């Protein structure tokens, strides 16, 4: 795989690299994306029936079961070379921040130490009524489990359509735009706001935006570098090309 020499220089000289990731980064681990034709989750299921607060109010059993199925799927897989290459940059660059829309926790599992989860984490649970966080050890056997504090219904700790992003995560992501020299945009269709605005904001802040995706997305237009391919192939090759002696 060949990369533009000036891109490799930009990476070597960067002091802070941000990577904004989406479901495509976990695709090679075996986790389905949302919008890929045929294989994407939203090709088979309706988001309105499974990923909204209204859906949980209407049919909490179906929603809880669907997330339990996704948890089983995620429990069986691990990080792929894309996650590992992102984590490996921490040994080569002063600071690397991952801003992810993924809820699977695979960036942490790969060893990334600064991960901002914009859409929550599927392994967390919280009460839909009193918002208390409920540790796995306190989950009752009911479906959905019953909150130990208020007897409300427990739900997965992910962000659903129509809900605000966790304020602290969003503030941290905005702060990253102030200091990152390079902003990778990897494996996201860039269709879900407000997260999708981050690459545009990064470009507006004068950052070098690098897009990695096998398909065209609206962010191709704003990226200075578009690397067409799978994250698990492009990222390791790019890290090796930029830091051949150490990577
Ligand atoms: P999408 O499913 O919308 O997009 C996945 C992107 O990954 C597409 O652009 C694919 O071309 C790309 N892709 C597929 N395989 C890839 C690979 N091996 N390497 C790199 N890229 C690959 O997923 P997201 O953009 O993450 O939100 O979706 C954003 C949000 O929409 C999700 O966080 C979720 C969803 O509904 C909520 O649930 C709130």
Structural domain spans, the chain: 1-31+78-119+165-247, 38-76+123-158
Its sign, for the CA torsion 236, 79, 108, 216, is positive
On whether the CB atoms of residues 231 and 24 are closer than 8 A, the answer is: yes
Query: What's the CATH number of domain 1-31+78-119+165-247, 2.60.120.260, 3.40.50.2000, 3.40.50.1220, 3.40.980.10?
Result: 3.40.50.1220
On whether the CB atoms of residues 86 and 235 are closer than 8 A, the answer is: yes
* Section 69-84 average pLDDT: 96
pLDDT digits (tens, 9 = 90+) for 89-147: 999 999 999 999 999 999 999 999 999 999 999 999 999 999 999 999 999 999 999 99
Superfamily covering domain 38-76+123-158: SIR2/SIRT2 'Small Domain' (3.30.1600.10)
Interval between CA 174 and ligand 1 midpoint (Å): 21
pLDDT digits (tens, 9 = 90+) for 187-224: 999 888 999 999 999 999 999 999 999 999 999 999 99
* Section 27-44 average pLDDT: 88
Catalytic residue among 119, 124, 149, 219: 119
Predicted pLDDT of residue 226? 98
CB of residue 231 inside a 6 A radius of ligand 1:
yes
Pairing mode, strands 120-127 and 154-158: antiparallel
d(CA 197, CA 212): 16
Query: What are the φ and ψ backbone dihedral angles of 141, each rounded to 5 degrees?
Result: -80, -5
pTM of the model: 0.96
On whether the CB atoms of residues 180 and 172 are closer than 8 A, the answer is: no
Q: Is 83 a catalytic residue?
A: no
Q: Which residue has the tokens 């894309």?
A: 82
Residue nearest to atom 13 of ligand 1 (CA): 24
């Amino acid at each position: 795989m060949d990369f533009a020499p000036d891109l490799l220089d930009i990476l070597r000289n960067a002091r802070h690299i941000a990577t904004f990731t989406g479901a495509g980064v976990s695709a090679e681990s075996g986790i389905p994306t949302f919008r890929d034709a045929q294989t994407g989750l939203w090709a088979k299921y309706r988001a309105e029936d499974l990923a909204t607060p209204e859906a949980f109010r209407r049919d909490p059993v179906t929603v809880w079961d669907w997330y339990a199925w996704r948890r089983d799927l995620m429990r069986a897989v691990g990080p792929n070379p894309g996650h590992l290459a992102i984590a490996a940059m921490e040994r080569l660059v002063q600071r690397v921040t991952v801003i992810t829309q993924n809820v699977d926790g695979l960036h942490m599992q790969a060893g990334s130490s600064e991960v901002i989860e914009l859409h929550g984490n599927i392994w967390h649970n919280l009460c839909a009524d009193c918002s208390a966080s409920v540790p796995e050890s306190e989950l009752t056997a009911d479906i959905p489990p019953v909150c130990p504090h208020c007897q409300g219904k427990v739900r997965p700790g992910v962000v659903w359509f129509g809900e605000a992003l966790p304020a602290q995560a969003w503030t941290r992501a905005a702060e990253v735009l102030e200091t990152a020299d390079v902003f990778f945009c990897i494996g996201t269709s860039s269709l879900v706001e407000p997260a999708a605005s981050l690459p545009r904001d990064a470009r507006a802040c004068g950052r070098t935006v690098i897009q990695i995706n096998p398909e065209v997305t609206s962010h191709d237009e704003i990226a200075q570098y578009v690397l067409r391919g799978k994250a698990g192939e492009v990222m390791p090759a790019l890290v090796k090309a930029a830091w051949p002696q150490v990577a």
